[in-house]
Structure 1
């Protein structure tokens, strides 16, 4: 199905939200690099298998058959406590989940709505059942990562459900390139690198060049020890990054973009490829995006493992 207009986008948003609401429970398994490294894939596989068998279990218990969704999210923000799991609609946050815990989670939480209390985080003597109860999380205001850990990191539908691509539709539906640049400049948006370079200034520099063949390059090669700003976005909410690059391309008059990804980020590459394919399928990337006449194609280039690699040398 191709999305050709803002109305199509709104219809898809409503459709996906209805699907999500139809679930009795949603199991959000953190599948960021940190949790994957501590065994989250096994947790996801075990929960998916157990939830597929729920029909037989619930018939025996003579209860209504729950409709359960098991999804992979981006980082839930507590890597050292992984593998992590959240259960909706109860907003339970489980930490240090092991494969042998999954059966108890299904039996108590999925089927009865009761928590597995031993899997809650404890702040000294205080039990923290929900993410907002955890001091490390409740003092944060997430902007770039607002969806990370809350939606399926491998589903463009879930990104659309939380308002994804509405900004692109607004831009292509009634704003000039200069108006977009002015808005970004006025917002004070800056790059995520150490220099914090103003995005509006950079976009305006590209837009006024005499050469009409232009490119948008996303530098996803962060070589600083312990840095994972770019990786968190690319693997946790790749659709937001792609939408942003598409808006930038419209603003500067580019039809091609390159995402330069660190070689050591295989999960980012996998999810970016998946996101690009899904966006192209919906007509949100490629030729004549949202029936606007605007074309933009994205390509992924992997780094070579060097320490200093930026858009200037990409």
Structure 2
């Protein structure tokens, strides 16, 4: 499965380099190559045409055909980058018009609207933040269990997908995803806080700008932040130019015995992602 950071990296490069972007289904690739030589072929059977004297004519090729030795070269004359997932393809290259003079916006507005409709949160008041500092989310508390576990899991799962273009939701969705097994009413209240925030930020997304493709990354960790097991949470974000293309928030697998240890674990994850993108 294609990674979200792969998609964002490719799209960021397309914007910053002024490359065109197309989503295509490739068919008969070699037939699209432009020929630089004069090449002739016999007419195919059943389509023969003669001149006025009965002399059989030949065809001059305008484009390449399968079997020509130069067909692979002329069909690959442009600089192309491909992302392929099953039968879906996104293509960028150095030919064609610019995507735009300024940049490109990646947004899941339609999907977020469907999510809000599913949760019955279309006509509600908005909130300026996606999460509140209190109460702290824990596995066991005095709050009753939320009765519709399927709804909780479905909404949080959709929120995970929204994070593809909304890094501002990553922290709160990471927290909510830790209580899929037995969510409480307190956890559902936190989910609604995120949905209220989405109502007022439907048009938000990732805006990719042109610029130099310089790799910059930041990492951080909060030491022993989990109230359940005192494990730390690692986080990082990777930029190409001014465009965020990869980010992650993840609870560490082991308990860090100092804030420095927690930071080093987070930095190691960030370095791995950075090396992969590079």
Same fold (TM over 0.5): no
| TM-score (structure 1 length as normaliser) | 0.24
**TM-score where L is the length of structure 2:** 0.26
Larger CA Rg, structure 1 vs 2: 2
Which structure's residues are more often strand, by fraction?
A: 2
